[in-house]
Amino acid sequence: MQRKFSDMWKINWRIWLLLAAGVSTSFAALGQTAVQPRSPAPLCIDAVCPPDETESSPQGIKWHPGFYVWYTPSNNFVNYEPSHQQAILNFIDSIGNEPSIKGIQVIGYWGEFESDTAGDYSNGFASVDAILARLQKYGKYLQVAINPAHFGSYPPANYAQFFPKYLVQPENGGTDYSGKYGISLMDRSPDGLQARVWQTATSDRFIAMIRAYGARYNGHPNFEMIGFGETSINTNIGTDGFSWPALDEQIRRHLAAARAAFPNTGVRFVANWYFTNPAMISLIDYAVSLGCAIGGPDVLPNEAIAANQAFAGAGIGGTPSTDWRGVVPFVSEVQSPELGGGEGTWTNEQLYLSAMQGVATKSGGATGSGTAVYRAVRPQYFVWYYNDWAGGAEQQWRTGTLPFIRKINGAVASTSCPKGYKSGCRTD
């Protein structure tokens, strides 16, 4: 799926954005061994230790399912740049009285959420505070995702436009003189940068950020969900110590830390492709055991995404999986590649039904149960990209997508509290 990078990421937006869709399904050929689920050991970071148990609060997890909009205001977005911040607030005003829209999704690079000094989250807090205040005015909700990678072109001497300087090598604009952290090139794809989250030191910093945001926003009634990264990594084995088992271990630590830091907030595991089918299934099972929502980038009516099939109990490549639908939420996310980019120019209805009903024929679009090609994921959350440039009138927000969402009244597969939310759901 690397063909999508040119459609979406070479525009080089410094905006609130999510990781582009993943790499091909051929990771099994890499010959890695599936890693079995295990609970990461507790770790204190910045003198803050995790709680002993997850989901311990009797108050339940915030639950406001429905349609959310992924809004991207402009090129070269910086979270504290006043005009771009105002664009987000203006967009919230524009949907404030739309009953079919539950809220927005804002997504940014690691450097949007943590400043150049380790542990300084002031710029990120200021941005999220302002957005939450405006959403609260209208009774709407926020989903946030933190991106430890950049897909697309980049200035070789300035990786720090995407990452905190303390993580970046000096020759690329940073202050990591000791080489403790570092940013790696995506050498399976010609364009892209990746924080070395497979390394414990870098992963510790990511976990510290998750905990800081949890301490500030878990109790906020309009902060609906937190997510980060994705399972696809476009880095060759051995590059800067990268290996899939190392990444697997750190992803599990991130998920456990997020659930502990956000006991009353949705936690989203952003999954699409992984190095082997058994490893993908194992990791999804682990996320479900923590009560995490599942759902990666893209809704593709012509392609069975591995994580989606594992979640829906269809298995992957002959490896069986458990049907987790209704146990934890699924988040379907429409991105620009399927709205006129490298993944096709689909109608709003085709995209919607492919998630809700599955796909029964590759040529015929979304029809019926989808068992012949892939099974429906039946999402409780539907995130739709605000598109005003790709495709035609049908694919663009004002002329196609918003009218469609109004037509279906923002309906999702279910609004019942997921069974995996053991402490219940909080709907206030």
Give the model confidence (pLDDT) of 316-328 as tens digits: 999 999 999 999 9
Token look-up 């878990």 returns 218
Long-range contacts of the stretch 178-181 (C-beta < 8 A, 24+): 181/205
Characterize the bridge pairing of strands 344-345 and 339-341.
Answer: antiparallel
**Closest among 87, 72, 74 to 134, alpha carbons compared:** 87
Rounded to an integer, what distance in angstroms lies between the CA atom of residue 350 and that of residue 38?
38
**What pLDDT is attached to residue 362?**
66
Integer-rounded Cα radius of gyration of the chain: 20
DSSP three-state, residue 139: coil
**What pLDDT is attached to residue 49?**
55
> How many Cα atoms are found within 13 Å in the side-chain-facing hemisphere of 359?
22
**What pLDDT is attached to residue 159?**
94
205 burial via Cβ count (<10 Å: 0-12, 13-18, 19+): buried
Q: Is the pLDDT of residue 261 over 80?
A: yes
Residue 157's pLDDT band (cuts 50, 70, 90): confident
Residue range 305-315: mean pLDDT, rounded: 96
Domains of the chain (ranges; CATH) run 3-22+35-426 (3.20.20.80)
Pick the range with the lowest mean pLDDT from 140-154, 174-188, 198-212, 360-374.
360-374
Phi (first) and psi of residue 413, to 5 degrees: -65, -35
330 forms bridges with which residues in the sheet?
294
Contact 284, 261 (CB under 8 A): no
Residue 203's pLDDT band (cuts 50, 70, 90): very high
Contact 209, 125 (CB under 8 A): no
Q: Is the pLDDT of residue 264 over 60?
A: yes
Residue range 356-377: mean pLDDT, rounded: 74
Which H or E element spans position 53? Answer: none
**What pLDDT is attached to residue 376?**
94
DSSP three-state, residue 69: strand
**What pLDDT is attached to residue 5?**
31
pTM exceeding the 0.95 threshold for the entire prediction: no
Token look-up 């991105």 returns 335
Rounded to an integer, what distance in angstroms lies between the CA atom of residue 354 and that of residue 368?
9
Long-range contacts of the stretch 304-307 (C-beta < 8 A, 24+): 304/359, 304/373, 304/374, 305/272, 305/273, 305/374, 306/25, 306/272, 306/273, 306/274, 306/277, 306/280, 307/231, 307/271, 307/272, 307/273, 307/274, 307/280
Structure-derived torsion over alpha carbons of residues 9, 14, 18, 23, reported in degrees to the nearest 10: 30
Rounded to an integer, what distance in angstroms lies between the CA atom of residue 161 and that of residue 303?
34
Q: How high is the mean pLDDT of the chain?
A: 86
Rounded to an integer, what distance in angstroms lies between the CA atom of residue 187 and that of residue 12?
18
**What pLDDT is attached to residue 328?**
98
Residues 6 or more apart in contact with residue 326 via CB below 8 angstroms: 378, 414, 416, 418, 419
Residue 76's pLDDT band (cuts 50, 70, 90): very low
**What pLDDT is attached to residue 369?**
54
Q: What is the pLDDT of residues 212-233, one digit of tens each?
A: 999 999 999 999 999 998 898 8
CA angle 303, 305, 310 (to 5 degrees): 135
Q: Is the pLDDT of residue 31 over 90?
A: no
Residue range 92-97: mean pLDDT, rounded: 98
CA distances, 229 to each of 44, 147, 296 (Å): 22, 5, 9
Indicate the DSSP class of residue 388: S
Residue 370's pLDDT band (cuts 50, 70, 90): low
Which H or E element spans position 33? Answer: none
Contact 210, 258 (CB under 8 A): yes
**What pLDDT is attached to residue 10?**
30
